[in-house]
Amino acid sequence: MKLTFSLAAATLLAASTAYAQSYPSEPVTLVVPYGPGGASDLAGRALAESAREYLGQPVTVVNQAGAGGMTGARDVTQADPDGYTLLLARVGMALSPAVNENSSVDWDEYTFISPLEATPMILAVADDSPYESVEDLLEGIKNDPGAMSYAASGATAIDGFTVQSLLADVEMDPLTAATLIPYRGGGELATALLGGHVDFLAIAAASLMPHIESGDMRPLMVFSPERMETLPEVPTAEELGYELAGQVIGWSALYGPPDLPEDVMNTWAEVMEQVAEDEMWLSRADDRGSISTIGSVDMETYAQEQYEFYRALAEQFGYLE
Amino acid sequence: MGITRGLVITVLFGIVLFLLIPAYVPRPRFIPGFAPPPDMWPRTVSMFGMALGILLVGLSFSRKTESIADPEDASAIRGDTPLVALLTRFGWTVLAFALFIGSVMLLGFLLSSILLLMAMLILTGYWRHKVVAAIVAVALPLVLYLFFSSALNTRFPVGSLLKAIGI
Amino acid sequence: MLNDLLVAFQAVATLENFLIMAAGIWGGVIIGAIPGMTGTMAVTLALPFTFYMQPIPSILLLVALYKGSTYGGSVSAILIKTPGTASAACTTLDGYPLAQQGKAGKALNMALYSSCTGDFISNLSLIFIAAPLALLALRIGPPEYFMLMIFALTTVAGVSGRSLLLGLVSACLGLLLATVGEDMYGSFRFDLTMDMQSGLAVAPVLIGLFAIPELLKIIVFRNNQSHKPMQLGDNHVTRDELRRSLKAMLKGSMIGVVMGAIPGIGPSAAAFSSYGEAQRSSKNRENFGKGELEGIAASESANNGCCGSTMIPLLALGVPGDVITGVMLGAFMIHGMTPGPMLFENNLNEVYMLFIGMLFSSVLLFGAGKATMRFFSHISRIPPGLMAPIVLALCVFGIFSISNSMYDVIVLLAMGIFGFFMFLFAIPAAPFLIAFILGPMLEENLRRALALSRGDPSILVSSPITWLFASLAIFVVVVTIRQQLKKAKA
């Protein structure tokens, strides 16, 4: 009796894992290594929506949060390289191994499929702050080292590096000139500034835009290759001549487990070409305040540049021996 | 009972305080000197825990204060079953849990959980009702498997053994 | 404003919206009632569907699922001593003893009345006092959070059972286990394995601690004397009982509203605080934990009291307080609306439609609760020898699917064994859970406050709000010590 049942169960399993004749013959799983509802999750879901049409199979989003995104990333690198398990990568996938000696996944333990989007970050102060420009703010920090505080999701998180690289650009100690107050997540960070608990921050645009629009926060500078359409009068870090800060930006990309077969890569190359022009993808990117970067850079080279950039910063700032 | 419990608690927090915290809670150098480092809180809590454990031991020695440390006679819950029988049943359950975790990679999630459920039904003594128990043990995991993999896209491990024989 | 609300009423009162909300509430109650399936899971499950729906119905669906699952958690807490959601943990303390006394129906009804009351009051406060509550929420900085958490933690005294010392031991264990994983500055603590870098999640710890020890007890002690099926028996809450619990219910709703409005605190902390407060001020103090209806009223009114007000920081500030409101934020943005101060200017009509829909959902919750109760009450007829393994299977599947990892299942089973040892040593489980949930907020806000003040501890008592919570906490501690001393003398 037991045997019959296990046989029945086995047949059922067999039915659900069809043989891959031509890719894709079954739904593709996109692992988002962060919780549902956040900026990365929305990016993943937008990609899933737009890609299904061109892929001919649904793309299902699975959230697998933990350890700053590295839990989900590690799982994908250990998955079968059959193209049915892919990863929505973020800047963290290059940043984390750069600043963490024993990171669970190295920056290059993936197959790089395509870049997706750049997500600008904004340096902002509260509306009642006396600082009107970046120079004012830096002047204030210089006058009393350590007295001013900023919120970030961790010392070695991307929104900590925004501020630290800016401080390094003007030859201040990136770790002590302003005091880092760690918070968890974009919502908490924004509240800390709104409630007047910290003096400034530089975090993802999506979390700050509503407060900038309502006039509760004042944007001083954007971390983005070009000015944001919604904030045409706010200068970029690059324009203001901040060399390191000019290179800090958030991004998302599509990764797979190492050694993806060629036909999978070719299929996705075609799909991404079409997604790049897809109206829904573009308008959803606008809604999130990000810029689609599909097809603009070679992802492997870009990831390596990013890794080396943050590695150098980490060494310079003293996070690594 | 009171003394054993107090000792176990003291030792448990002691292990955390003297062995685990020094080895597994690094002090990153970049945290500013005035900000409390990551080990401040676990240290405080385990010191407090150790103090409580020692207090429990101390209170158990005096007849007068014993009632504060040991509110109820725990043996009342245990009944009169011999200790060996209790330990054997407990051992089997823990073994079943461990085997379940070990077998997931080999047999897959569905098959392993069917086996786990059967083991539990045998251990609770419900296996007497063989037909009902067998139906539950097979049908429930199957239904849950189908529900979660279709509704929530859960990716359950298929199991390397099943894969190897080509299923 | 009333006129606008009337217009919104007409727009929202369509059959379609009602069906969506009813389905959401009902689905939420069922998912919440199944151990191992959480409200977050319900909301995530529905998120893809909301892409294809109109903005307001899609948010209403998510809200309905949230409310339903918050109530649903109490059903399994009462019937099988396993809280379906973390916020129902306190409901277990009195609900299960009542079920054992053959008063499961009474407990379920009381939970439903309290949930609906808390829910309705919470919705009203969202509609009429969102702005002041949002301002209050902004005022709560690290020192205020810290003091508030200290106050909430004093509930440990109330749920410790017979020995306060053992309750404190339990709380210390909870505080310690909560530190596993990524530290706020980015390093890792207690990462004995790579998996432990992601820490211990609330769901596997909660379920492991409550459900699995029950299974182990049945296996190890074979205490089949309770084999006779529990009778639902005494079904109705009498008018007298309702009057007696009314104070706890209203106070619980208020606690829920305030704590829900502060981002990050959530329904579990509200339920704990409310339970502690009800116990302190009740005439039947001694009966708490043995099957006291007031206890159920306190915890259930508080956790559903969060459901409406948790939308306040989301709508008024654009700040999601927890994962569920985080998903709602995503749903708003998919439909091109950005929650935050501008929402009330740009989409006032939609906001009012949402408000009206939420008011209706309180009523729907009542109906769905009543209907589901009949169905679920049959559960108590299943003999424990069959029920406990079934619960284990549900938990194993549910917990696995939260993050698709065996690690969480291992945590679940390991916590179960740990919980069984706690039971053997007569260490109560509830203080552990309170400390485990509040611990990270307590620690992180203490460290944040000290980093802000550059190490000066006086920041912890620097504002009127901190004085308020600090004096409340001191008051509770003094009262507890006096009660303990009296008990020791007697």
Q: What is the pLDDT of residue B120?
A: 95
pLDDT band with cut points at 50, 70 and 90 for residue B65: low
Question: Counting Cβ atoms within 10 Å, is residue B3 exposed (0-12), middle (13-18) or buried (19+)?
Answer: middle
C173 Cβ under 8 Å from any chain B Cβ:
yes
A104 contacts in chain C (CB < 8 Å): 194, 197
Q: Quick one: B87 and B160 in the same domain?
A: yes
Q: What is the pLDDT of residue A5?
A: 44
B138 contacts in chain A (CB < 8 Å): 5, 9
C153 Cβ under 8 Å from any chain B Cβ:
no
Nearest residue of chain C to residue B84 (CA atoms): C220
A101 Cβ under 8 Å from any chain C Cβ:
no
The neighbours of chain C, by the rule of 3 or more Cβ pairs under 8 Å, are A, B
CA distance A38 to chain C (A): 7
Evaluate if residue B76 carries a pLDDT over 70.
no
Query: Cα separation of C147 and C134, whole Å?
Result: 19
Q: Which amino acid is it at C223?
A: N
> Quick check: A10 and B167 CB within 8 A?
yes
Q: What is the pLDDT of residue C424?
A: 86
Q: Please report the residues numbered 295 through 334 in chain C whose beta carbons come closer than 8 angstroms to any beta carbon of chain B.
A: none
CA distance C185 to chain B (A): 8
- Under 8 Å between Cβ of B67 and B91: no
**Percent above pLDDT 70 for chain C:** 97
Q: Quick one: B73 and B110 in the same domain?
A: no
Region B113-127: mean pLDDT is 93
The tally of domains found in chain B comes to: 2
C488 contacts in chain B (CB < 8 Å): 65, 67-68
Q: What is the pLDDT of residue A6?
A: 46
A27-118+250-317 CATH fold: D-Maltodextrin-Binding Protein; domain 2 (3.40.190)
For C190, how many CA atoms within 13 A lie in the half-sphere containing its CB?
19
Q: Quick one: B88 and B158 in the same domain?
A: yes
Its domain, for residue C22, covers 2-489
pLDDT band with cut points at 50, 70 and 90 for residue C34: confident
Q: What is the pLDDT of residue C333?
A: 76
pLDDT band with cut points at 50, 70 and 90 for residue C4: confident
pLDDT band with cut points at 50, 70 and 90 for residue C37: confident
> Quick check: C327 and A183 CB within 8 A?
no
Residue to mutate among A71, A199, A290, with most C CBs inside 10 A, is A71
Its domain, for residue B23, covers 2-78
**Percent above pLDDT 90 for chain B:** 53
C180 Cβ under 8 Å from any chain B Cβ:
no
C389 contacts in chain B (CB < 8 Å): 117, 120-121, 124, 126, 136
Cβ neighbours of residue C22 under 8 Å, at least 6 residues apart?
C64, C364, C367, C368
A175 contacts in chain B (CB < 8 Å): 30, 32
CA distance A272 to chain B (A): 23
Please say which residue of B20, B49, B78 terminates a domain.
Answer: B78
What's A174's DSSP letter? Answer: T
B143 in helix, strand or coil? helix
Please say which residue of B78, B98, B121 terminates a domain.
Answer: B78
Nearest residue of chain A to residue C445 (CA atoms): A183
C420 contacts in chain B (CB < 8 Å): 90
A197 Cβ under 8 Å from any chain C Cβ:
yes
Please say which residue of B78, B110, B140 terminates a domain.
Answer: B78
pLDDT band with cut points at 50, 70 and 90 for residue A4: very low
Q: What is the pLDDT of residue C302?
A: 95
Region A216-224: mean pLDDT is 93
Domain A27-118+250-317 and domain A121-247 have a common topology: yes
Query: Cα separation of A19 and C218, whole Å?
Result: 44
Per the prediction, chain C carries an average pLDDT of 88
Per the prediction, chain B carries an average pLDDT of 86
> Quick check: B110 and A60 CB within 8 A?
no
pLDDT band with cut points at 50, 70 and 90 for residue A10: very low
Q: Positive or negative CA dihedral for C363, C367, C370, C372?
A: negative
Lowest mean pLDDT, pick from A11-15, A211-215, C289-293: A11-15
Evaluate if residue C133 carries a pLDDT over 60.
yes
Region A15-27: mean pLDDT is 62
Compare CB distances from C323 to A37, A71, A190 and report the shortest one's residue.
Answer: A37
Q: Output the CA–CA distances (angstroms, integers) from residue C238 to A137, C99, C106, C234, C242, in the order listed.
A: 65, 17, 9, 10, 6
Q: What is the pLDDT of residue C182?
A: 87
Instruction: Determine phi and psi for A300, rounding to 5 degrees.
Output: -65, -45
Inter-chain contacts counted by CB atoms under 8 A, chains A and C? 149
Q: What is the pLDDT of residue C232?
A: 56
Compare CB distances from C401 to B39, B52, B148 and report the shortest one's residue.
Answer: B148
Q: Please report the residues numbered 120 through 159 in chain A whose beta carbons come closer than 8 angstroms to any beta carbon of chain C.
A: 146, 149, 154-157
C218: nearest Cα among C398, C103, C74, C382:
C382
Evaluate if residue A316 carries a pLDDT over 70.
yes
Q: Output the CA–CA distances (angstroms, integers) from residue C210 to B152, C84, C107, C207, C429, in the order listed.
A: 25, 10, 19, 5, 8
Task: ipTM value, please give it.
Answer: 0.92
Tens-place pLDDT, residues C248-257: 999 999 999 9
Q: Quick one: B65 and B22 in the same domain?
A: yes
Nearest residue of chain B to residue A5 (CA atoms): B138
> Quick check: A6 and B155 CB within 8 A?
no
C379 Cβ under 8 Å from any chain B Cβ:
no
Q: What is the pLDDT of residue C54?
A: 86
Tokens found for residue B155: 């990716």
The full set of domain ranges for chain A reads 27-118+250-317, 121-247
C185 contacts in chain A (CB < 8 Å): 154-155, 180, 182
Tens-place pLDDT, residues A226-261: 888 889 999 999 999 999 999 999 999 999 999 999
If you compute the radius of gyration of chain C from its CA atoms, what whole number of angstroms results?
22
Region C422-447: mean pLDDT is 91
A61 contacts in chain B (CB < 8 Å): 153
Nearest residue of chain C to residue B132 (CA atoms): C386
C215 contacts in chain B (CB < 8 Å): 93, 120, 124
A66 Cβ under 8 Å from any chain C Cβ:
yes
Evaluate if residue C110 carries a pLDDT over 80.
yes
C454: nearest Cα among A193, A182, A318, A149:
A149
> Quick check: B158 and A85 CB within 8 A?
no
Cβ neighbours of residue B11 under 8 Å, at least 6 residues apart?
B53
C140 contacts in chain A (CB < 8 Å): 195
The tally of domains found in chain C comes to: 1
Q: What is the pLDDT of residue C108?
A: 92
A89 in helix, strand or coil? strand
> Quick check: A38 and C313 CB within 8 A?
no
Compare CB distances from B25 to C190, C221, C401 and report the shortest one's residue.
Answer: C190
Region C86-90: mean pLDDT is 89
User: Which CATH superfamily hosts domain A121-247?
Assistant: Periplasmic binding protein-like II (3.40.190.10)
More confident residue, C285 or C121: C121
The neighbours of chain B, by the rule of 3 or more Cβ pairs under 8 Å, are A, C
More confident residue, A280 or A39: A280
> Quick check: C45 and B26 CB within 8 A?
no
B110 contacts in chain A (CB < 8 Å): 9, 13
Tens-place pLDDT, residues A66-92: 777 888 899 899 888 988 899 999 999
**Percent above pLDDT 90 for chain C:** 44
Q: Positive or negative CA dihedral for C330, C333, C334, C337?
A: positive
> Quick check: A182 and C186 CB within 8 A?
yes
Residue to mutate among C401, C427, C484, C487, with most B CBs inside 10 A, is C401
C333 contacts in chain A (CB < 8 Å): 42, 287-288
Report cis status (omega within 30 of 0) of the bond before B141: no
Strands (E), C144-253: 181-182, 188-189
Cβ neighbours of residue C159 under 8 Å, at least 6 residues apart?
C90, C93, C167, C272, C275, C276, C289, C428, C430, C431, C434
Evaluate if residue A20 carries a pLDDT over 50.
no
CA distance A69 to chain B (A): 18
Query: Cα separation of C29 and C334, whole Å?
Result: 26
CA distance B74 to chain C (A): 7
Region B17-33: mean pLDDT is 86
